[in-house]
Amino acid sequence: MKAFLKFDYNLLTKKILEDKLTSFGYKFSILGFGEIEFYENVPEDKIEELREEFLKYGITIIENQKSVLVQKIKDAIHEMVYGEEILNVKVSVYLAEKLNHSYGYLSNLFSDITFTSIENYVIIQKIEFAKQLILNNKLSLTEIAFRLNYSSVAHLSTQFKNTTGITPSAFQRIISKRRDKNQ
């Protein structure tokens, strides 16, 4: 038997952070996605314990300011792609306004640290979300294209095929066949 799950990455991560930080007994506030403020000094050995505990969940404590900004770029892109609200704005404008830096600076920094462009990262995130939406089987390709802010289904299909090697329609057929086979 298979079960298909839908979950909110942001909510899940926030809950894990709250639970783990509360268990450590320090007063804190989650300022934004990926940013925590402690209201008291936390000894380095406790930070190391937190670091080890968070790593179990794929969460890393970042100390380098450039890496922090790159993580904020990734978080903002996740908000754009996975968020409930459809944002009809260019990624460059959204990131520049949200992070208070020029897009040129953000783009260069992101490329230097991650060895890929913001544009490629956005495409990968959109295609991963498109796969999830196709798996949920509730939206048509037209609706998925709209949801992901593509100008057309053809544009979505082109990027999907360039990224995965198959078209969204072929992906749907494969998923359908697997579901039929497992029933």
The residue ranking higher by pLDDT, 156 or 183, is 156
69: in domain: no
> Is 43 part of any domain?
yes
Give the pLDDT confidence of 148-167 residue by residue, as tens digits.
999 999 999 999 999 999 99
Q: Is residue 145 part of a domain?
A: yes
- Domain extent at residue 49: 9-61
pLDDT at 2 over 80: no
Let me know if residue 135 belongs to a domain. yes
Last residue of a domain, one of 26, 44, 61: 61
CA dihedral of 111, 32, 93, 118, whole degrees rounded to 10: 20
The span from the CA of 52 to the CA of 59, in Å, is 9
The model carries a pTM of: 0.69
Is residue 107 in some structural domain?
no
- CATH at residue 146: 1.10.10.60
Residue 106 pLDDT: 95
The pLDDT tens digits for 36-81 are 888 888 888 888 888 888 888 888 887 778 888 998 999 999 999 9
What's the pLDDT tens digit per position in 112-131?
Answer: 989 999 999 999 999 999 99
Residue 161 lies in a domain: yes
pLDDT of residue 32: 67
| Distance (Å, whole) CA 68 – CA 13 | 17
Residue 77: which residues within 8 A CB-CB, separation 6 or more?
A: 91, 95, 118, 121, 122, 125
- Reduce the DSSP state of residue 62 to 3 states and report it: coil
Question: Is position 3 within any domain?
Answer: no
Predicted local distance difference test score (pLDDT) of residue 37: 80
If you average pLDDT over residues 100-110, what whole number do you get? 94
* 139, part of any domain: yes
Give the residue-averaged pLDDT of 96-105.
94
> In the chain, how many domains are there?
2
